[in-house]
Amino acid sequence: MVRFHDALQIAESFACERLARFKCVYAIRDLLGRVSLAVNVSAEELPERAQLSGDLNARLGRFAPGADEAVQTRDDLLMPEEVFESPEWVGLDGDDTLEIRLVDRLMNNQDWLRTPVTDQPPLPTAVAFSLKGGVGRSTTLAAWAHHLAGRGMKVLVVDLDLEAPGVQNFLLGPRREAASPWPDYGVVDWLVEGRVGQADRELFEGMLGSVELAPGTPGEIRLAPAFGSRTRDYVAKLGRAYLSVRVDGAEYGFAEAVHALLQTAADRIEPFDVALLDARAGMHDIGAAAVTRLGAHAFLFARDDPPTWAGYEQLFRHLRWSPAITFNMPDTDLRWRLSTVGAMAGSTPKAQAAFRERSYETWQWLYDEEAEAGPSAPEEEDEGMPHWPIPVYADTSMSGATFNMPAEMPVAQVLDKVYGEFFRVAGERLKLGVRRGEE
């Protein structure tokens, strides 16, 4: 019996055996996981196509596309440009003589392996990401926003957790009880209006709620919630939030819409100094786009438990195929924009060492396989590498903490104890001590 994970390997081996003379072959995997091979030549250049197609089809079992569709030329495809001109392919192993490019037709999670919209966001941007909820991701982001405002920065916080908004309640409070008025609109409005060219500066300003700060705070926090007080038909909009369309000949999807939002934030008369994005938990399209395609620095929140590490292992194994990851980790490599956060970390040396060991072990799936230590194959003790956990310490006094009313916020000593090291390292990773435009 051929399983899903076997089918692609069978097609790869077949291509190396029977199609190596063409130098480059495309593997196409459809929504059901059925695999076919396509060669960018005319039918005349592959006269044995029917025989090849039948042979591969027989090998693929239930993941075969059909006896006449397993191997195709450009003359056999209805829209060959969608395969041979697709920018969304990833390279498979192949062999020394044959390049194999995979075009994977996914219902969702496509963004994990797509080319980034930009390597440099319009303003310093951080993404808070986790595989599971309940790890303190949104709480940490809210506390960090207040910390940065205390340093005089204009902070934009964006709640991208559209399915279960969280950080908006930490910073503004429940809509009916909030001390500060909620904005009219939210991120979901920006996403649907952008598909028809109506995500503009006026809409952006109508999305910004003001977060109440302690008297004398030199900076400010503005929050773009998932929805606003005038947002209607939220579920209907949510069902269209991840849709990709063609606008002026270019693709406009979730990542492009969020990038446009960040560009608008940077182009204001009084631009923001930093943007903090709260992504949805799990391997969802929101996390995929925010972590890999915006040029942002992503903080990967992890608890030291087996389900967390097992989940990150699966994600890292998938990310190895990303075009944003390059051998030997050049400056633009995605891995330099990822940092592990030790959520709810223990403060003892033993607990920290255990956390670091598990993180380092999991990161081996994403680091280069090198015999000698170096930038792409670091030592476990290298504090500057993505696997090194930035601690956010566990503290029972943070239970039920709120950040929308200064008088009820955790005291400074508690915040420093829990988040002090995260604030320092995260600020360094975003180069927040460097003025915009300088290096």
Residues 47 and 168 placed together within one structural domain of the fold: no
CA dist 97 to 10, 49, 55, Å? 18, 20, 22
Residues 317 and 394 placed together within one structural domain of the fold: yes
Residue 107 has pLDDT above 80, yes or no: no
Residues 87 and 168 placed together within one structural domain of the fold: no
Q: State the pLDDT at residue 183.
A: 93
Residue 27 has pLDDT above 70, yes or no: yes
| Residue 126 contacts residue 276 (beta carbons within 8 Å) | yes
Q: Domain of 283: which CATH number?
A: 3.40.50.300
Residue 48 within any structural domain of the chain: yes
Contacts of 439 (CB under 8 A, 6+ apart): 431
Residue 353 within any structural domain of the chain: yes
Last residue of a domain, one of 105, 136, 162: 105
Residue 195 within any structural domain of the chain: no
Residue 231 within any structural domain of the chain: no
Residue 261 within any structural domain of the chain: no
Instruction: For 310-367, write each residue's pLDDT tens digit.
Output: 999 999 999 998 889 988 888 899 999 999 999 988 888 999 999 999 999 999 999 9
DSSP bridge partners of 175: none
Residues 71 and 164 placed together within one structural domain of the fold: no
Residues 166 and 284 placed together within one structural domain of the fold: yes
Q: State the pLDDT at residue 439.
A: 41
Residues 75 and 170 placed together within one structural domain of the fold: no
Last residue of a domain, one of 105, 126, 144: 105
Average confidence (pLDDT) over 179-196: 88
Q: State the pLDDT at residue 91.
A: 86
Count of the separate structural domains present in the chain: 2
Residue 260 within any structural domain of the chain: no
Instruction: For 216-230, write each residue's pLDDT tens digit.
Output: 999 999 999 999 999
Residue 385 within any structural domain of the chain: yes
Residues 74 and 165 placed together within one structural domain of the fold: no
Average confidence (pLDDT) over 421-427: 96
Which domain, by its residues, includes 46? 4-105
Residue 131 within any structural domain of the chain: yes
Run of H or E residues at 314: helix 306-319
Strands 89-91 and 245-247: unpaired
Q: Report residue 109's pLDDT band, with 50, 70 and 90 as the boundaries.
A: low
Residues 14 and 152 placed together within one structural domain of the fold: no
Q: How many CB atoms lie within 10 A of CB 149?
A: 22
| Residue 81 contacts residue 89 (beta carbons within 8 Å) | no
Residues 404 and 340 placed together within one structural domain of the fold: yes
- How far apart are alpha carbons 376 and 365 in whole angstroms? 12
Last residue of a domain, one of 105, 124, 139: 105
Residues 60 and 126 placed together within one structural domain of the fold: no
Q: State the pLDDT at residue 368.
A: 87
Q: Which residue has the higher pLDDT, 272 or 175?
A: 272
Residues 101 and 126 placed together within one structural domain of the fold: no
Residues 281 and 414 placed together within one structural domain of the fold: yes
DSSP bridge partners of 392: 343
Q: Which residue has the higher pLDDT, 217 or 97?
A: 217
Cβ density class 359-372: b for 16+ within 10 Å, e for less? bbebbeebbbeeee
